[in-house]
Amino acid sequence: MRTVFWDYDTHYLRMIDQRLLPFETAVPEYDTYQAVAEAIRDMVVRGAPAIGAAAAFGMALAARQSRAADRLALLRDLEEAARVLEAARPTAVNLAWAVRRQLRVATDESLESADDVRAALLAEAQRLADEDVALNRRMGFHGAELVADGDTILHHCNTGALATVDWGTALGVIFAAHEQGKRIHVLVDETRPRLQGARLTAWELQQRGIPFDLIADNAAGHFMRRGEVNLVLVGSDRTAANGDVANKIGTYQLGVLARENGVPFYPVVPTSTIDLDLATGDLIPIEERPMDEVLRIIDLGIAPLGITARNPAFDVTPHRYVTGIVTEAGIVYPPFAKNLRAAVARAREIKWE
């Protein structure tokens, strides 16, 4: 089952509710773009590629919701839907990328009627989702070159099938290495405050029979200093043109620790997540989520009543801590300002059919 998929029987979007895993698997359906935006905001769906696919299908839903009989009226409704969807989570660039891709389809003047636009938007959303699976497989193949037999890999947050339409980014590299018969072990950061590592990555590795240990986030440096980590793999929600990487909070400290301990540090990044319009990571908007996520774990309060907390969802790892960046167009090494741009251009030439 894909994380995000269109139900062609009901003509609704369906998504795995990741808030309930690993204890319950539910796949609710969504019939409005507003509900999709709320699901993105509430982290029913999470992970930059999965958010992008959800937004693309959300635009298809918006077209179906609209009562517009002509193309211009439909386009006005789609522009409003785009505004709502893009505001759901500001850091993940795939969201805006997918929405703008759908708006380009909607403005194609070869489409003669509003119904033609509706059909084209659904087809494009499905194409985007299928491409995501194919490019993740390709990234896994490239990234597996970095993994030696017997390696221990440190992984942060969740970057597997649940964070994408299917397969995964950084975890996809681990899956590919495992499929190749390499004997690997994974140290899984729990990833406070929402515990995506403990809840989701551990579940995905368990399902595939890949050996792993769950560790507290603040134990990562201990294992690196002892020489027990060969490679750090992380994802990215937005990568700036110079190679600065915005990813789940806690990634920056891993980059610094890896550099200090001589451990290679590789983000695994589809080129749709590379924002060439942003010169540096300092320009990436950082989402700050509700403080209750820090003050509570599930339904259990863990701090004194009445106190405040800060809860940035992401941090930025400067490119000087990045060994290389794995993309569907290959592994990119410094100088990133030049080579990321070339990788994006190569990726545009790839045919996914």
Positions annotated as catalytic residues are 237
d(CA 87, CA 145): 37
Over the range 174-208, which residues count as b (16 or more CB within 10 Å of their CB) and which as e? Answer: bbbbbeeeeebebbbbbbbbbbbbbbbbbbbbeee
Q: Could you tell me whether strands 238-240 and 274-275 are parallel, antiparallel, or unpaired per DSSP bridges?
A: parallel
Kindly write down the DSSP assignment for every residue of 246-278, as one continuous string.
Answer: EEETTHHHHHHHHHHHT--EEEB--GGGEETT-
Place of tokens 């077209």: 63
d(CA 300, CA 298): 6
d(CA 214, CA 234): 16
CA-closest candidate to residue 220, choices 231, 211, 236, 209: 231
| Both structure tokens of 53 | 């696919």
| Both structure tokens of 309 | 């907390």
Burial class (CB in 10 A: 0-12, 13-18, 19+), 349: exposed
Residue 317: φ, ψ to 5°: -100, 115
Q: Could you tell me whether strands 238-240 and 29-30 are parallel, antiparallel, or unpaired per DSSP bridges?
A: unpaired
